[in-house]
Chain A
Amino acid sequence: MSAAFSRSWCLGGRPDQANPDVGFRGMRTRLQRFIAQLTTASPTPAIKQMPFAAFFVVALFLALLLPTQFVSSGAAVIAAMVLALVASILAVYVSSRPVHPGWVLLVPSIDFVAIGLLRGGMGSGNSAFGALVLLPILWLAAERGRRFVLFATLGAVVAVLIPLAIEWRLAFDPQFVVRSLVSPLVFVVAAVVVNQLARHWQARAEDASQRAEERARLLREAVEHAERLAEREAELRALERMFRGLWAAVTEQSVIGTDRTGLIDAWSPGATKMLGYTDDETEGIRRVDEFHLQDELAARSKELNYPAGETVLNPGFSALVEPARLGVAEIREWAYRASDGRIIPVDLAVTPRLDESGDITGYLFIASDLTKAKELSRLKDEFVGLISHELRTPLSSILGYLELLRDEDGTELTANQLHYLSVAERNANRLLRLVGDLLFTAQVDSGMFQVDQSEQNLSAIVAASVESARPAAATAGIELAMSAPDRTIIRGDVVRLGQACDNLISNALKFTPRGGNVTVSVVTDAENATVSFQDTGMGIPPAELDKLFSRFFRASTATRNAVPGVGLGLVITKAIVSAHGGELGVTSEEGAGTRFTMSLPLAPVSA
Chain B
Amino acid sequence: MESATIAPAVRVLIVEDGEDQRFLMQRYFELAGCEVTAVETAEAALETMPTQDPDLVMTDLILPGMNGWELAERIQSGWPDCVVVSSSVLEAARHPPLAARLMKPVSRADVRSLLEKLVPRWAA
Contacts of A439 in B (CB 8 A): 91
Q: Which of A389, A399, A407, A409 contacts B90 (CB 8 A)?
A: A389
Q: Say yes or no for B64: interface residue by CB 8 A criterion.
A: no
Residues of chain B in range 86-114 having any CB-CB distance to chain A below 8 Å: 89-91, 93, 103-108
Min C-beta distance of B14 to chain A, whole Å: 13
B108–A397 touching, CB < 8 Å: no
B90–A432 touching, CB < 8 Å: no
Q: Which of A388, A392, A450 contacts B105 (CB 8 A)?
A: A392
B27–A404 touching, CB < 8 Å: yes
Q: Say yes or no for B7: interface residue by CB 8 A criterion.
A: no
B106–A400 touching, CB < 8 Å: yes
Chain B's interface size range is 10 to 19
Q: Say yes or no for B124: interface residue by CB 8 A criterion.
A: no
Q: Which of A390, A432, A450 contacts B93 (CB 8 A)?
A: A450
> Which of B18-26, B42-50, B75-83, B115-123 sits within the interface?
B18-26
Contacts of A396 in B (CB 8 A): 21, 24, 89, 104-106
Complex: how many Å from CA A397 to CA B19?
A: 10
Complex: how many Å from CA A407 to CA B107?
A: 11
Q: Say yes or no for B6: interface residue by CB 8 A criterion.
A: no
A399–B91 touching, CB < 8 Å: no
Q: Say yes or no for A403: interface residue by CB 8 A criterion.
A: yes
B107–A400 touching, CB < 8 Å: yes
Q: Known A396-B21, A409-B2; judge A432-B27 contact (CB<8 A).
A: no
A-B contact count (CB 8 A): 50
Q: Which of A389, A393, A403, A449 contacts B18 (CB 8 A)?
A: A393
Q: Known A393-B21, A407-B31, A409-B2; judge A400-B105 contact (CB<8 A).
A: yes
Complex: how many Å from CA A525 to CA B102?
A: 40
User: Which of B1, B27, B31, B91 has the most chain A CB within a 10 Å cutoff?
Assistant: B91
Closest chain B residue, CB of each to CB of A398:
B105
Q: Known A409-B1, A450-B93; judge A401-B104 contact (CB<8 A).
A: no
B93–A397 touching, CB < 8 Å: no
Complex: how many Å from CA A55 to CA B93?
A: 139
B104–A393 touching, CB < 8 Å: yes
Q: Say yes or no for A308: interface residue by CB 8 A criterion.
A: no
A404–B89 touching, CB < 8 Å: no
Min C-beta distance of B4 to chain A, whole Å: 14
Contacts of A450 in B (CB 8 A): 93
6 contacts between A and B (CB under 8 A): A393-B21, A395-B105, A397-B105, A401-B20, A409-B2, A449-B93
Name B residues whose Cβ lies closer than 8 Å to a Cβ of A: 1-2, 18, 20-21, 24, 27-28, 31, 89-91, 93, 103-108
> A393-B21, A397-B24 given. 5 additional CB < 8 A pairs?
A389-B90, A392-B89, A399-B107, A400-B24, A401-B20
